[in-house]
């Protein structure tokens, strides 16, 4: 099984810091890979990267998208003694923050190393021992001794911060990295774009690498409003439920294949979700069977992607969330299995190219 190309893309993408709203370096990388493969691409005013592969106009058009951004922080205050206070940007897991290695991206695009301070254990009281520190009480230590020094290094209020980019092998098939959510999706979509270019009879496919998903879940909306595709397929992680702490949360295992979401919902302040279009559920079910790919099913609350908003655009767009199993979401070390990415790519390729005159989005 050749997963080398996906792994190379994923490796390169995980080592780029690209907070929501600051996706430029991720986009430059993806754009240059598209250019290398003769795939014309454009960037919209929000920073979404779009590559349209024209096809048979009699078939429903498809938008295939994955988000480029990652969660993190912005600086909200610089203390006189050089410590840095932060504001969260996205679904940051507070219980996994202290002692983390971070990077601040300064105004020249340089990575400035920092750590999130963790109170010295020897001075920790019994009360403090089992408490999670809130973001408002955390501080970043980047080795500066005063505010002036921070500012002189091109760091100011608003500067973006992410986990220190990393990418490591785990065992023979898995990798642990920062922002596997959703650079793994980007790696898969990039590979598919290359394959679709040489495929003759297929629908028009808009390949989109989107922005600000971790921030407001709506960065891709202007693209959908502009392109008005008939179908939108969103690629992102699915919560793997095979770790000791996730049993009973679902039936998704790392290494057992790509996943299809039948239900997502988020009720905490957002109130949205996605129930996929039945024709798309059939399309992926049938192509998984035909190509001997095990397709895992997800139905879960507490998770939401931008397809929930895309489905409401224009006259309505038939949407579905496809993805790969992933452990430890939003932590600094997210884990996925490269074989799942490879199988996800194949499933998407076969499914999209199987859309023909018999494929219908009509209800009933
Ligand atoms: Zn994501």
**Ion ligand 1, residue ranges at CB < 5 A:** 181-182, 236
- Residue 61 has what DSSP assignment? P
Instruction: Measure 81 CA to ligand 1 centroid, in angstroms.
Output: 36
CB atoms under 10 Å from CB of 142, counted, come to 19
Distance CA 118, CA 95 (A): 12
Cα separation values, 119 from 102, 125, 128, 330, Å? 17, 10, 9, 23
pLDDT at 1 over 70: no
Cβ(21)–Cβ(177) below 8 Å: no
- Architecture of the structural domain at 72-163: Beta Barrel (2.40)
pLDDT for 21-74, tens place per residue? 999 999 999 999 999 999 999 999 999 999 999 999 999 999 999 999 999 999
Residue 303: what pLDDT?
A: 86
* Residue 43 CA, distance from chain mean position: 18
CB crowding 176-205: b at 16 or more within 10 Å, else e: bbbbbbbbbbbbbbbbbbbebeeeeebbbb
CB crowding 206-221: b at 16 or more within 10 Å, else e: bbbbbbbbbbebbbbb
pLDDT at 102 over 70: yes
pLDDT for 152-173, tens place per residue? 999 999 999 999 999 999 999 9
pLDDT for 266-296, tens place per residue? 877 778 999 999 999 999 999 999 999 999 9
Helix axis angle, 338-353 to 278-290, nearest 10°: 110
Confidence of residue 364 (pLDDT cuts 50, 70, 90): confident
Lowest mean pLDDT among 141-145, 253-257, 303-307: 303-307
Please tell me whether the overall predicted TM-score, pTM, comes out greater than 0.95 for this model. Answer: yes
Cβ(232)–Cβ(240) below 8 Å: no
Name the percent of the chain lying above pLDDT 70: 99
Cβ(130)–Cβ(173) below 8 Å: no
Domain ranges in the chain are 4-70+178-353, 72-163
**H or E stretch covering 344:** helix 338-353
Instruction: Measure 179 CA to ligand 1 centroid, in angstroms.
Output: 8
Distance CA 138, CA 92 (A): 13
Instruction: Measure 325 CA to ligand 1 centroid, in angstroms.
Output: 12
Instruction: Measure 205 CA to ligand 1 centroid, in angstroms.
Output: 21
Cβ(292)–Cβ(331) below 8 Å: no
Instruction: Measure 183 CA to ligand 1 centroid, in angstroms.
Output: 9
- Residue 121 has what DSSP assignment? G
Instruction: Measure 153 CA to ligand 1 centroid, in angstroms.
Output: 31
Instruction: Measure 236 CA to ligand 1 centroid, in angstroms.
Output: 5
CA angle in degrees (0–180, nearest 5) for 13-68-222: 160
pLDDT at 15 over 70: yes
Distance CA 65, CA 185 (A): 8
Instruction: Measure 169 CA to ligand 1 centroid, in angstroms.
Output: 21
The answer to whether domain 4-70+178-353 has CATH 3.40.630.10 is: yes
What does the mean pLDDT of the chain come to?
A: 96
């Amino acid at each position: 099984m050749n997963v080398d190309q996906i792994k190379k893309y994923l490796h390169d993408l995980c080592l780029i810091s690209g907070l929501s709203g600051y996706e430029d370096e991720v986009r430059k990388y993806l754009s240059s890979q598209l250019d290398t493969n003769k795939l014309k691409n454009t960037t919209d005013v929000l920073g979404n990267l779009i590559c349209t592969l024209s096809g048979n106009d009699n078939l429903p058009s498809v938008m295939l998208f994955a988000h480029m951004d990652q969660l993190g922080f912005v600086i909200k205050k610089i203390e006189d003694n050089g410590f840095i206070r932060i504001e969260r940007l996205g679904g940051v897991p507070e219980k996994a923050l202290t002692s983390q290695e971070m990077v601040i991206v300064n105004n020249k695009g340089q990575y400035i190393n920092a750590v999130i301070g963790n109170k010295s254990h020897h001075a920790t009281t019994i009360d403090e021992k089992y408490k999670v520190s809130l973001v408002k009480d955390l501080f970043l230590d980047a080795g500066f001794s005063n505010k002036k020094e921070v500012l002189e290094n091109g760091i100011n209020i608003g500067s973006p911060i992410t986990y220190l980019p990393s990418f490591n092998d785990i065992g023979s098939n898995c990798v642990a990295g920062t922002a596997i959510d959703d650079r793994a999706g980007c790696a898969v979509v990039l590979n598919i774009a290359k394959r679709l270019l040489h495929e003759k009879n297929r629908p028009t496919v808009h390949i989109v690498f989107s922005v600000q998903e971790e921030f407001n879940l709506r960065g891709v909306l202007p693209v959908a409003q502009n392109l008005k595709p008939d179908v939108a397929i969103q690629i992102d992680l699915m919560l793997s439920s095979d770790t000791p702490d996730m049993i009973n949360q679902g039936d998704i295992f790392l290494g057992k294949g790509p996943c299809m979401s039948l239900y997502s919902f988020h009720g905490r302040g957002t109130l949205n979700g996605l129930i996929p279009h039945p024709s798309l559920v059939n399309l992926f079910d049938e192509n998984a069977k035909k190509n001997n790919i095990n397709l895992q099913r997800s139905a879960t609350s507490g998770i939401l992607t931008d397809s929930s908003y895309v489905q409401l655009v224009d006259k309505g767009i038939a949407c579905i969330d496809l993805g790969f199993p992933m452990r430890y979401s939003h932590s600094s070390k997210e884990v996925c299995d490269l074989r799942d990415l490879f199988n996800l790519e194949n499933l998407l390729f076969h499914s999209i190219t199987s859309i023909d005159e018999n494929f219908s989005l009509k209800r009933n």
